[in-house]
A and B are shown apart, each in its own frame.
Chain A
Amino acid sequence: EVQLLESGGGLVQAGGSLRLSCTAPGFTLSTYAMGWVRQAPGKGLEWVSVISASGGHTFYADSVRGRFTISRDDYTNTLYLQMNSLRAEDTAVHYCAKLTRQWLVDHWGQGTPVTVSS
């Protein structure tokens, strides 16, 4: 069974930073493209960032490019999302996601909430 376990969310002031982590007991993250999807309160699903299986290709939403960085530690089998210069509009539940070859989500984590106070 695929499990994705996020951590690192919390309350932070505008302009601050957070690092989200996602571990995957039972499978090797580097075998698949992985990503982060967020959902603001009462809103729909929004891509934040994606990293390819090889690690050579990344995607960032326009709203986070230059502020967020996705990375992966293959030794600890952990996916990260470093979030800097946080804004109130970054307030959302952030989900770790395992992707298919077509970059669609086929497994979701339980989500970790990020709240940015202004």
Chain B
Amino acid sequence: QSALTQPASVSGSPGQSITISCTGTSSDVGGYKYVSWYQQHPGKAPKVMIYEVSNRPSGVSDRFSGSKSGNTASLTISGLQAEDEADYYCISYTSTTSQPGLFGTGTKVTVL
């Protein structure tokens, strides 16, 4: 199965808000509430930032929020900070039998 589509890069200035999109189909993103987002700094393991479309794990800043409309999920970072510069990946449940979640292609966030 194909990966979910994300923009290759998104940038913003400190204090601004940015949004990263994650586009799939009705068989994955559009059909279920199971979308997660991961943040990955260089040389580090990914970290869960959002699960089940819009839920934040304990300890994740409330500057991170998730939403979904149709076949596209979105991650919004408000009040952008230098430490937010990282790669971000989405993942979605898929209805394909015995197939793990579909990863997104990844987005590099740059803080200008």
**B91-A105 in contact (CB<8A):** yes
| A95 proximity list for chain B (CB < 8 A) | 45-46
- Looking at chain A's contact residues, the main secondary structure is strand
CB distance B51 to A110 under 8 Å? no
For chain B, give the interface size range: 20 to 34
**Inter-chain contacts of B103 with A (CB < 8 A):** 44-47
Q: What is the interface size of chain A, counting residues whose CB is below 8 A from a CB of the partner?
A: 21
Query: In this assembly, does A86 line the interface, its C-beta being within 8 Å of a C-beta of chain B?
Result: no
On whether the beta carbons of B105 and A59 are closer than 8 Å, the reply is no
Given A44, A99, A109, A111, which contacts B100 in the complex, CB threshold below 8 Å? A99
Q: A105-B36, A106-B48 are in contact. Are A44 and B99 (CB under 8 A)?
A: no
Residues of A near any B CB (own CB < 8 A): 35, 44-47, 50, 57, 59, 95, 99-100, 102-111
User: Which residues of chain B have a CB within 8 Å of any CB of chain A?
Assistant: 3, 32, 34, 36, 38, 45-48, 51, 89, 91-93, 98-101, 103-106
